[in-house]
C-alpha cells in the first residue's frame, strides 16, 4: 500500500475513489502507466441502462473496471484499518506507561505516608 493513499469522496452516484498506482500483486503490475492516476466511480446499486438501450451483460472491460474499483475501495478500507490499528497500539502503549507511572506514584505515596507516620511517632516519643 502506498503512503499517498486513495482519496474517498461520497457523490450522488455512489462512492468515488481516486487512486495512485500501487504495487500490490500481479493485478496491479498489469496496469498501464496511463493509469497512474485515475478516477473511478463505484455504486453498490444495480446500474440502470439508459432508456431505450439494450440491457445485456456487462462487457469484460466494464467488469474489469468494476472489479478494480472494488479492489481500490477494499484497499482504502484496509489501509484505514491498519492506521486505526496503529493508533490503537499507540494508545495501548500510552495506557501501559500511564499505569506504570500510577503504580510508581502509589508506591511513593505509601512510602511518604510510612515515613510521615514514623516521623510523627518519633516526635511524640521525644516529647514524652
The residue range of the domain holding 34 is 7-44+59-94
Say whether pTM exceeds 0.75. no
Question: In this structure, is residue 123 part of a structural domain?
Answer: no
Chain segment 93-128, per-residue pLDDT in tens: 999 999 999 999 999 999 999 999 999 999 988 887
Question: In this structure, is residue 82 part of a structural domain?
Answer: yes
| DSSP string across 5-38 | --EEEEETTEEEEEEE----HHHHHTS-GGGSEE
Question: In this structure, is residue 12 part of a structural domain?
Answer: yes
Residue 20 pLDDT greater than 60, yes or no: no
- pLDDT at position 50 is 59
Question: In this structure, is residue 65 part of a structural domain?
Answer: yes
Length of the chain: 128
Question: In this structure, is residue 88 part of a structural domain?
Answer: yes
Radius of gyration of the chain (CA): 31
Number of domains in the chain: 1
8 A C-beta contact, residue 78 and residue 1: yes
Residue 89 pLDDT greater than 90, yes or no: yes
- Cα 116 to Cα 84, 113, 123, 125: the distances in Å are 47, 5, 11, 14
- pLDDT at position 58 is 85
Which whole number is the average pLDDT over 61-83? 96
Question: In this structure, is residue 30 part of a structural domain?
Answer: yes
- pLDDT at position 25 is 41
Question: In this structure, is residue 15 part of a structural domain?
Answer: yes
Question: In this structure, is residue 101 part of a structural domain?
Answer: no
| Cell output for 70 | 472494488
Which whole number is the average pLDDT over 85-100? 97
- pLDDT at position 57 is 81
Chain segment 44-67, per-residue pLDDT in tens: 444 555 565 556 688 999 999 999
DSSP at 46: P
Locus of grid cell 503504580: 103
Amino acid at each position: 500500500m502506498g503512503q499517498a493513499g486513495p482519496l474517498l469522496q461520497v457523490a450522488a452516484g455512489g462512492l468515488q475513489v481516486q487512486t495512485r498506482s500501487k504495487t500490490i500483486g500481479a493485478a496491479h503490475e498489469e496496469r498501464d502507466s496511463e493509469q497512474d492516476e485515475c478516477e473511478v466511480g463505484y455504486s453498490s446499486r444495480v446500474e440502470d441502462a439508459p432508456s431505450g438501450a439494450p440491457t445485456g451483460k456487462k462487457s469484460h472491460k466494464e467488469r474489469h473496471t468494476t472489479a478494480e474499483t472494488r479492489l481500490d475501495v477494499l484497499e482504502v478500507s484496509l489501509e484505514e484499518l491498519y492506521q486505526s490499528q496503529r493508533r490503537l497500539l499507540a494508545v495501548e502503549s500510552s495506557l501501559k506507561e500511564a499505569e506504570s507511572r500510577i503504580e510508581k506514584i502509589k508506591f511513593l505515596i505509601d512510602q511518604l505516608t510510612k515515613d510521615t507516620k514514623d516521623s510523627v511517632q518519633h516526635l511524640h516519643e521525644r516529647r514524652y
